[in-house]
A = this chain, B = another copy of it.
């Protein structure tokens, strides 16, 4: 996604959180939103995004609705109940990851 390898594993968290805020979004919209929010720091590639969306749908975390807008197809995704729960989990995991890494990298921050 970016030059930093740290983003590996964060894509699902990002997708779920965005859908949690926006109610429904389509793939291309997600890539643009992420570029915008991160000031071009993070560019989600289509090769990563679309397979990920398909997987989340297959797992029952997302529902799809296909709409035709301006003669072009858009696949709108939205969180299912299960997806909303998983969003909470993923966000907690992110916070935990950050805490743990801080403890490793900054010895002043110790975990209890």
Contacts and interface: CB of A to CB of B under 8 A. Distances in A.
Interface in A1-26: 4-10, 12-14, 17-18, 21
A101 B21 contact: no
Interface in A42-75: 42
B98 A21 contact: no
Interface string A74-112: 000000000000000001011011101101110100111
A52 to B, nearest CB: 12
Given A13-B105, A93-B6, A105-B17, A41 B98 contact: no
Given A14-B104, A105-B17, A93 B41 contact: no
Given A4-B97, A39-B111, A41-B111, 6 more contacts: A4-B96, A13-B105, A17-B104, A37-B103, A38-B104, A98-B98
Interface of A: 4-10, 12-14, 17-18, 21, 34, 37-39, 41-42, 91, 93-94, 96-98, 100-101, 103-105, 107, 110-112
